[in-house]
Amino acid sequence: MSVETAGTALARPIADRIAWALRDGLVLTKRNLLRYVRIPTLLVFSTVQPVMFVLLFRYVFGGSITGLPPGARSYVNYLLPGIFVQTAIFGATQTGVGLAEDLASGIVDRFKSLPTSRSAVLAGRTTADLFRNLFVVLLMTLVGYLVGFRFQDGVVKAILGISLAVLVGFAFSWISAAIGLAIKSLEAVQAASFVWIFPITFASSAFVPLAGMPGWLQAWARNNPVTIWANTLRAFTLGGAYVASTGDSLLALILKSGAWIALILAVFVPVSIRVYRKT
């Protein structure tokens, strides 16, 4: 059958190609998710670190952090939205690691020799990592509830907040994909991830309010998209009093967050696909 269809398939219209790309992407998403079903310990390990962060920050720093914005009431309510964003970004580094693994194992050669959409291999990986991130963030919510965190502005906003964290993770998956494909070596990818991930997640409002930071760091942290995302997520979880204190409207926060995500995707989706074609 592959032989008979070969001729007609040559002139496939764009719509068809997109449909195939989506289908290929789904097939590969399933493949990547099955990995977590077959090796559940992978999932366990990817949750240990964020759980530790929640507990450490909540109980070690929680008491000494002052200057909480209105609506936060307690540090744990301030912390959790930051943890969601940080967890999603850390989780995204696994995208590059997974791709480097696939390159090393030779399975990428197989995918490339098939009439499969080029972008599907990457989309399948980033989408699977999106689901994994969703799982981890939901688990963080549960852990958060156990240590006193509460969504304060209804279910819809809670869902929007979690979606934002997962979308941020998705955008970072594409950065991670480009790095993983370019560096190729597993250990190097892992090490490289932390070089850029630590400064952007920690030098932000993810864990502590900016007010306590020295001026030069505040300047950086204020413009750090992680700060914008964390604050937007707080706007969803803490409610109107918090939003008012940011000096922005909820809509403005959402637009800024969305613009950053769109910017990252606009740059790194094509870059990753280019790097993938060349490897």
Partner 1 sequence: MFVAPARPRYDSPMSERPIILAEGLRKSFGDVHALRGVDLAVAPGTVFGLLGPNGAGKTTAVRILTTLLHPDGGRAEVDGHDVVRDAEALRRVIGLAGQAAAVDPNLTGFENLEMVGRLYHLPVAEARRRSREVLERFGLADAADRPARTYSGGMRRRLDLGASLVGRPKVLFLDEPTTGLDPRSRIELWDVIRELVKDGTTLLLTTQYLEEADVLADRIAVVDLGAVIAEGTADELKAQIGGEVLEIRVSERSRVAEAAGAVLGLVPGGGKVDNNTGEVTLPVGGNGPAILTEAVRRLDAAGITLSDIALRRPTLDDVFLQLTGREVREVERAAPGRARRRRREVEP
List of residues contacting partner 1 (CB under 8 A): 1-3, 5-6, 9-10, 20, 23-24, 27-28, 30-31, 34-35, 38-39, 105-107, 109-116
Instruction: Find out whether 151 and 233 touch, Cβ atoms under 8 Å.
Output: no
Between 117 and 176, whose beta carbon lies closer to partner 1? 117
Minimal distance in Å, beta carbon 39 to partner 1? 6
Minimal distance in Å, beta carbon 46 to partner 1? 16
**Residues contacting residue 75 through CB under 8 Å, at least 6 positions apart:** 57, 58, 61, 62, 63, 65, 68
Between 110 and 222, whose beta carbon lies closer to partner 1? 110
Between 27 and 56, whose beta carbon lies closer to partner 1? 27
Between 87 and 117, whose beta carbon lies closer to partner 1? 117
For 62, which DSSP code?
G
Between 115 and 240, whose beta carbon lies closer to partner 1? 115
Secondary structure class of 112 (helix, strand, coil):
helix
Which ranges of the chain would DSSP assign to H, the alpha helix?
2-9, 14-38, 40-56, 75-105, 107-113, 118-146, 154-183, 186-202, 215-223, 225-238, 240-246, 250-278
What is each CA distance from 105 to 10, 38, 109, 111, 278, in whole angstroms? 31, 18, 9, 12, 17
Instruction: Find out whether 100 and 191 touch, Cβ atoms under 8 Å.
Output: no
Between 32 and 152, whose beta carbon lies closer to partner 1? 32
Between 23 and 222, whose beta carbon lies closer to partner 1? 23
Minimal distance in Å, beta carbon 84 to partner 1? 28
Minimal distance in Å, beta carbon 116 to partner 1? 4
Between 36 and 220, whose beta carbon lies closer to partner 1? 36
- Residue from 263, 271, 194 nearest 229 by CA: 263
What is each CA distance from 133 to 41, 136, 178, 216, 250, in whole angstroms? 15, 5, 19, 32, 25
How far apart are alpha carbons 87 and 6 in whole angstroms? 45
The radius of gyration computed from the CA coordinates of the chain, to the nearest angstrom, equals 20
